A and B are shown apart, each in its own frame.
Chain A
């Protein structure tokens, strides 16, 4: 069915539906002030209540009911949200629905970050429900964050009634206009009859191809309007055809190049995690004895402790990972996008390397760095295609076993080991103050690399990436693309609500924590076990580091005087607060904090002016690292 046909069908809507629309309009016309539009009139409330009782005509239900049914059909169990006038009909239904759990955030940004954490940890679509106007605008940071990090979300925003659209009504904002550049797709729902199909399409779009957020903006009167609950059997999106399997010839060419390379390297990212391709990655790397370097978003897609892992590359990556990628003759890039924080100066990036770029999003390929061989497809499927070729003894692949690969790549590996010995990750230890790197190492020791850890952006994020060896995928939850302070804590909370029994830690800075600390109330209300470690240097550390290095130590607006006492803040919310200020206190505080049930805030006071090294200065190439 084309869009044109759909319009025709709408004109032929059943008379009962049209009558209902007229009734709703009629009621609303009698009300003069805009604010009352957002509060259900007694008639509206009665209508909605009656709808629940009218079981003799089950085919005609309210838009709000259709929405919830459609969400349940998509397997949704949790909604993160915040109520308001334009979504009152939906919340009215939600209160009676036993199958959907609603988590009340304390700010819409928090709700979206929670849904992101939930989605990142589970691989499922995170769902958000917020009201019109400020509800939607507060959600935008989270939506943009999800867009940059390819997180599958469906965000339902309330909107003013249809006839008030464009009238600057109370709490009206052009939500589809505002979110257009930061969503994979968005909808302004025109009538209750299309709602079920819109929800279905939204989940399909959010979760397939390169995942991303989809906004569904629903005018308030649409949620009251009654329509039959019916779904189209298929999703009608002729222009949307995400590729899964790659062109076999390209895969063959790729395998040929890989097995013949002398200095190959696997550069892997978030795409491997989205595709659930960690097993295939491990097999591929082991089979061909390839060094593996993950991006920040790829942390955990390959076990950090594995001998083939080089650790993270990029601006604060390991010396040997950056040297290896710079000196390689072949880069097999999978599910990555050659971000500027990874490549450094583009003209100096891996000058001798042939680049094979595997990505599900064709627009990512050759965007920043030209790929010699583009392979468009799902990361997991493409790696399986490669493995099949290698295993079945394809003439191109020349059935090189891992022993042969190891032998052939011996000198390359020797070179990498030399780099590793030359500049290992290191920091100056101290008995006086807690070094943030030591904090990360202790956290790793106590959790065995198995915790789900969410971070914000900044120094703490980089140190954790360097010193916490994630064992598996969907454990590292961080704001990579947008770099959002305040992301980590609510994201951890979302992950904890998905996995109540797992060890989930929000590892945040004192600056970022203060951006979304109000979600402590949410964490306590839902009796979660979320642990918050505040790496407290009383500075906006990464900005301070740049001011130290590139602005002659002219510290401008980075001192955080006035920071609250985090222990007492935690207690004020009914959580447990702990503090460590000396290295000898650290282990005990972490052990106690991590094992205490309930919400625990651990205020870890660390050395204030520690810098993250190694570091590639802005504008420099990967080989021009500053080691200390």
Chain B
């Protein structure tokens, strides 16, 4: 099954390679990966999507936590959490009615048209993965020129069911 992992790691050269290496060495594929600083610039949060059974997830979490610079690793899959993906799409829309059509479509998906040129528009969407998929399918008939899709982001729902992450972040930012 698909697994969404949240990892807090010290923001240093080579640490991401170390995390990614744990997956490649075991022949596990990483479906998506998203990394950015937390409130504390010394700590990064990694959201990583992979595939595997419970035993694999348990072992991967332990291996991640074993890393010297990893502060915590949590499998969010079974906990109540929110997931979002972001996408930017260049769509062909030369005629005025095509543009209007794309804008209408975008509004159905809660997406926005954020740029235009003579023959196309750029659509931005932030949604759950399957909605992003649906949006892309809907835009297909117009002709998609380029897609930039971000890795999945995930966060546990409040009240947070994985207190160690919050704690670590707080104690490190003080």
> Does chain B have a CB within 8 A of A164?
no
* Beyond A180-B14, A367-B59, 7 additional pairs, beta carbon < 8 A: A3-B11, A4-B11, A180-B18, A181-B21, A205-B68, A239-B71, A362-B62
> Does chain A have a CB within 8 A of B128?
no
Residues of A within 8 A of B62 (CB): 362-363, 367
Residues of A within 8 A of B68 (CB): 184-185, 205, 237, 239-240
Q: A239-B10, A363-B66 in contact; A5/B42 too (CB < 8 A)?
A: yes
Q: A2-B42, A3-B42, A363-B59 in contact; A177/B17 too (CB < 8 A)?
A: yes
A→B interface (CB under 8 Å): 2-6, 176-177, 180-181, 184-186, 188, 205, 237-240, 361-363, 366-367
A205 closest partner in B (C-beta)? B68
Residues of A within 8 A of B9 (CB): 239
**Are A3's CB and B12's CB within 8 A?**
yes
Residues of A within 8 A of B70 (CB): 239
**Are B17's CB and A238's CB within 8 A?**
no
B13 closest partner in A (C-beta)? A188
Residues of A within 8 A of B63 (CB): 363
CA distance A367 to B58 in the complex (A): 9
A4 closest partner in B (C-beta)? B42
Give 26 pairs: A residue, B residue, CB < 8 Å, sorted on A: A2-B40, A3-B42, A4-B11, A4-B40, A4-B42, A5-B42, A176-B14, A181-B21, A186-B14, A188-B13, A188-B14, A237-B68, A238-B71, A239-B10, A239-B67, A239-B68, A239-B69, A239-B70, A239-B71, A240-B68, A240-B69, A361-B66, A362-B62, A363-B59, A363-B62, A363-B66
**Are B43's CB and A2's CB within 8 A?**
yes
CA distance A3 to B10 in the complex (A): 7
Residues of A within 8 A of B66 (CB): 361-363
Contact with A along B96-131 (1 / 0, CB 8 A): 000000000000000000000000000000000000
**Are A180's CB and B17's CB within 8 A?**
yes
CA distance A240 to B43 in the complex (A): 14
CA distance A243 to B125 in the complex (A): 45
Residues of B within 8 A of A3 (CB): 10-12, 42-43
Residues of B within 8 A of A185 (CB): 68
Contact with A along B18-29 (1 / 0, CB 8 A): 100100010000
Closest chain A CB from B170 CB (angstroms): 12
A185 closest partner in B (C-beta)? B68
CA distance A5 to B10 in the complex (A): 12
**Are A366's CB and B14's CB within 8 A?**
no
Residues of B within 8 A of A2 (CB): 10, 40-43, 172
Closest chain A CB from B27 CB (angstroms): 13
Closest chain B CB from A216 CB (angstroms): 13
Closest chain A CB from B164 CB (angstroms): 12
Residues of B within 8 A of A238 (CB): 10, 71, 168, 172
Closest chain A CB from B103 CB (angstroms): 42
> Does chain A have a CB within 8 A of B65?
yes
Residues of A within 8 A of B10 (CB): 2-3, 238-239
CA distance A98 to B41 in the complex (A): 44
Closest chain A CB from B72 CB (angstroms): 8
**Are A4's CB and B41's CB within 8 A?**
yes
Across the A-B interface, give the 6 residue pairs with the lowest CB-CB distance, nearest first: A2-B42, A4-B42, A363-B62, A3-B42, A4-B41, A239-B71
Residues of B within 8 A of A363 (CB): 59, 62-63, 65-66
Residues of B within 8 A of A239 (CB): 9-10, 67-72
A362 closest partner in B (C-beta)? B62
CA distance A366 to B71 in the complex (A): 22
Residues of B within 8 A of A184 (CB): 68
Q: A3-B10, A239-B67 in contact; A181/B25 too (CB < 8 A)?
A: yes
Max chain A Cβ within 10 angstroms of own Cβ: one of B9, B14, B17, B172: B14
**Among residues 139 to 174 in chain B, which have CB atoms less than 8 Å away from a CB atom of chain A?**
168, 172
Closest chain A CB from B7 CB (angstroms): 10
